[in-house]
A = this chain, B = another copy of it.
Amino acid sequence: MSNELVWDRPEPPSKPSPTPLSRELIVNAAIRLADEGGLDEVSFRKVAAALNAGPMRLYGYVETKDELLDLMVDEVYGEIALPDPGTDWRAALTQIAHGIRTAAKRHPWLVDLLGGRPHRGPNSLAHIEASLATLDGRPEFPTIDHVLGAVSAVMAFVRGAVGSEIAEAREERSSGMTEEQWQAASGPYMQRMLATGKFPTLAKVMFEAEHTNAEPWFDTGLNYVLDGIATRHSPA
């Protein structure tokens, strides 16, 4: 039982083999499987099969399944474009937030992993660094604690918002309904619940709200957070 992290262990040298293997190949195969069929499709047996290899061969490259999942998360972080240094902090954080959102839409399983463990892979670290760096040094954020507080708040919002959005999208897709159908059908349950009159405000939301795309909601919330940060850190 090595206590090292994945990121600490070098990849084994590539042997000549009928079907060569590498962490990258394994991770990409796993991501493809997860994209197509959800996280449940990611098992050592299936990933290995997708690479024409025996399941146990993966253990040469990855010590445990959680490690594989960590690698997948970091790979996705690598897909997200980072803002150019020097960008206005508000624009930079907005760009990062949207980057995470679109990545999560491309890889819906990501949200199941975001909550799990802290992410310490190189791409994740680069990501955090970029976020922090856009605030560090600005006069509005005098100490590193201010920087950290602001970035944490934005990241927390993004994780939560993306999580909810993806969860709902998944449920809609799995029930094979559009939003209006869902609102109309929604199982008899919701209707009866709303009919009890115990949830008047919720009923208003369901019947009166303009349910446009989820994107505007995301932007609204994000701007709340950014506004809050801005007002707290502007000359009084």
Seen from chain A, the residues whose Cβ lies within 8 Å of a Cβ on chain B are: 3-5, 7-8, 111-112, 114-118, 120, 122, 125-126, 128-129, 132-133, 136, 144-145, 147-150, 152-153, 155-161, 163-164, 167-168, 170-171, 187-190, 193, 198-202, 204-205, 208-210, 217, 220-221, 223-229, 231-232
Chain A interface, DSSP helix/strand/loop, else mixed: helix
Q: Are B187 and A4 in contact (CB under 8 A)?
A: yes
Determine how close the nearest CB of chain B comes to the CB of A67; give it in whole angstroms: 13
Q: Are A114 and B224 in contact (CB under 8 A)?
A: no
A-B contact pairs, 18 of them (CB 8 A): A4-B189, A5-B187, A7-B193, A8-B187, A120-B189, A128-B199, A132-B204, A147-B201, A152-B161, A153-B161, A153-B221, A157-B225, A159-B160, A160-B163, A225-B225, A225-B228, A227-B232, A231-B231
From B116, B148, B152, B171, contact of A117 by CB (8 A)? B171
Q: Write out the residue numbers on chain B whose beta carbons fall within 8 Å of the beta carbon of A160.
A: 155-161, 163
Select the residue from A115, A125, A200, A205 with max chain B CB neighbours within 10 A. Answer: A115
Q: Are B164 and A156 in contact (CB under 8 A)?
A: yes
Q: Are A168 and B118 in contact (CB under 8 A)?
A: yes
Q: Are B225 and A231 in contact (CB under 8 A)?
A: no
Assuming the contacts A152-B164, A189-B7, A228-B223, asked whether A202 and B115 have C-beta atoms less than 8 A apart, the reply is: no
* Other 14 A-B pairs with CB < 8 A, given A153-B224, A156-B157, A228-B229: A7-B189, A115-B163, A118-B167, A129-B198, A129-B201, A132-B205, A147-B205, A155-B160, A156-B160, A156-B164, A157-B225, A158-B160, A224-B228, A225-B228
From B115, B148, B201, B204, contact of A167 by CB (8 A)? B115
